[in-house]
Structures are given as C-alpha cells and as structure tokens.
Amino acid sequence: MKLLLLLSLVALAQCLVSRIPLKRSKSLRRELRDRGLLQSYLKLHPYNPAAKFFPTLASSESLENYLDDEYFGTISIGTPGQDFTVIFDTGSSNLWVPSIYCSSVSCTNHKRFNPEKSSTFVSTNDTVEIAYGTGSMTGILGYDTVAVSGLDVTNQIFGLSETEPGDFFYYAPFDGILGLAFPSIASSGATPVFDNMMSEDLVSEDLFSVYLSKDDESGSFVLFGGVDSSYTTNGISWIPLSAETYWQITMESVAIDGETVACASGCQAIVDTGTSLLAVPSSALDNVLSSLGASSSGEVRTAQGFGDLWISCSSVSSLPDIIFYINGDAFSVPPSGYVVEEDDYCVLGIEGMSVETESGELWILGDVFIREYYVIFDRANNKVGLSKLA
C-alpha cells in the first residue's frame, strides 16, 4: 500500500513540474494539499519534499519579450481574478496596478482593477507613492489574493493607482509593476509579493531565478522557488549581496580591451530586471564610450526604448567585450549584447546616470547584462548567482 501511494505521488509530482509554463495553474504543493496527499508526501520525503525526484517545488511564470526592451508576465488579482500584465522588477519592491480610481490619461488604455468586483478585497486608508527612473504613481493600498504563476498569494498588499503622471505608462505595453527587491525599500512599508510567498510556504526554496531571451524570442521566464539546471551547465558563480535593499553587489572593476576603464577602486551595482539598459555613472561614461569609439555629442539619433549613444554599424564586429570583475570572476557582455541595430544606424544599450550611495556612485546591470546570464536571486543566503548562457 505504501509503495502504491509513493508511486502515485511520484507520478503526480512528475506531471505537475513540467517546464511548460501554465498560466494560473496550481502549484505542486497546493495540488497535493487539495488531494489530501501533502502530509503523506512530506512524511515520505522529510528532508526535501522533491529532491529525490525533481529539483524543487517551483512555479514558472512565462514572460513576453517586448522588443528586447521590456519583459512582462500576467498575474491576476481578486476573486474572481482580474488579469494584469506586470514587469517583474528586481529594482523595486511594491506591487501596484491601475485602478478604476485613476484619473490619469495613462490609465485610459490599460486594464484597471475594480475592488467592487472582488469578494476578497480589503480596503485600507493608507496611501502609496512611488517614483521610478521613468514614470511615477500615487494611489491607495488594499489587500487581496494575487495569483502569480499558479501560486495563490493570500492577503497580499498592493497599490491601486490614482495618478500616473506623464506619458511613460501611457505608452508602456504593460499595466503595472511587481517588485522583487527587499522589504527595506518598499514604499509605505508594504510587504513584497515574494516575501509573502515565502511566509505562506508556497515555495520550497527561498529564491527565484530569471531567464531573459534575446532578439524578441520567446521563452523568457521567472521561476519562483527553484533553479532550472538546464540553464546552469556552465556552472554558477555566487556573489554575496553588499546591501539588503536592491539586489546590490560589489564590483572590483570594469575593463575594455584589457584596460580598466571604470570602477578602478571598486564600486556598487544592482542587478535590475526592470532597467532595459546598462546604466553607467555619469563620471565613468566618457571613459567607457571613448574605449568603444562611441560619441555622446554631435548628431543624436534615437531608437525607441534605447539611449542616444550612437556608433557606426560597420564597426560593431570589431568592438571589444565589456568585462565586469565581480567577486573575483570576470563577467563579459559582448558587442552583440550592448549594441542595438536600428535600420541604418546602431545605438549602444548604455545610458549615463548619477545615483549616489554611501559607497559611491551606483551602476545598474539591467537587461543588457542579464540577457547574457541565467540569474538566481537567493533570499535564503542573500546572494546572486550568475551562470553564463550558451
């Protein structure tokens, strides 16, 4: 009898962890619980409920690659669920979506949450205000069930936007943002979605991993609670966090053609899925550009979603890699990763910025960098894992 139960559980588990992303499907843990099999399964596998038969209890959320500029997936909020597309942003910590209370033009062409249509919505008197590098929002906070990649996160606090000034969010192909950084930087003290996933025991490992495809290809995903070993065949380099705010790390230097061009005495960087480009401190930008033969002055040509740093397309094949030295390892971004070709001209996926921290100016390793690596965001051990993609 025990053997038959074990075999049935294994068969169920193997079926439920298919790598094909299924929208709004139940997690393995929830499926086992609903069938009354969870406790028996845990007793049979006391150390790791899944390690003997599959890597982990994990749930995959497929992401749409929009012009190699933004990556977003679909979540639902409320009972019954109201669907929204959101950026899964490791550079912020709040979840918010447009609401029926929003008076801005940016809300008119996006889905808007209606709390009156959700039987599980709980209102508050609290407000929220968030400013990003581009765009901002203000609104009110509420609680409801949020379904993310088949996981039902109950009593999740989120923002219902009332204003979204400017036109950035009007033209955005997504509705809202789901922050995956630390609670310490959450506006209004809101608990991030992944923190609730961990506290509600919805993931067996307190980590998530991200793959971002190239050239508008499909297949991008964020995997909650696990690591897909098929993306780590080149090994994993682990980097300790330098702060539990953003996913912040320490870099030793940045080199091009064997010469250090920036960050010579060390600097701070964040790994940010919500930033499209590679953001370089303004003080280091000229050195980086001159080493690449680019220009930040003269004729400026722009490409939607990218910066105004242009370069001759004929020279792209001879450009060097940009090398980031982090925790004793070298992480490269080739010209195919940091140059974007638009019709008869090419632009660099690089922008200048000035953000001061206690440790100096901050670099942002955005999607230009992340597309070269499978990235693991480990909350249990406060570190980031990078595995070079083929």
State how beta strands 350-353 and 136-148 pair: unpaired
Closest CA to 254 of 270, 265, 240, 242: 265
Contacts of 230 (CB under 8 A, 6+ apart): none
- Tell me if 310 sits within 8 A of 300, measured CB to CB: yes
What three-state secondary structure class fits 118?
A: coil
184, with CB counted inside 10 A (0-12, 13-18, 19+), is: exposed
Q: What is the DSSP-derived secondary structure letter of residue 132?
A: -
CB atoms within 10 A of CB 309: 25
Phi, psi of 10 (to 5 degrees): -65, -45
Give the count of beta carbons closer than 10 Å to the beta carbon of residue 187. Answer: 19
Identify whether 175 is a catalytic site residue: no
Our separate counts of H helices and E strands in the chain read 8, 27
Q: How far apart are CA 10 and CA 58, in angstroms?
A: 15
- Distance, in Å, from the CA atom of 53 to the CA atom of 209, rounded to the nearest integer, reads 20
Q: Which of 167, 72, 152 is nearest to 120 (CA)?
A: 152
Distance CA 307, CA 314 (A): 19
| Choice among 144, 152, 272, 367 that is catalytic | 272
173 C-beta neighbours (distance < 10 Å), count? 13
Quickly tell me which residue has 């249990």 as its tokens.
380
Distances (CA, A) of 167 to 109, 163, 171: 11, 11, 7
Cβ-Cβ contacts under 8 Å for 292 (sequence gap 6 or more): 256, 311, 319, 320, 322, 348
Do 375 and 291 touch, CB atoms closer than 8 A? no
- Choose, from 89, 152, 195, 321, the residue flagged as catalytic: 89
Residue found by looking up tokens 């792209």 in the block? 316
Strand pairing class (243-244; 310-311): unpaired
Residue 68 annotated among the catalytic residues of the structure? no
Would you please indicate which residues are annotated as catalytic (active-site) residues?
89, 272
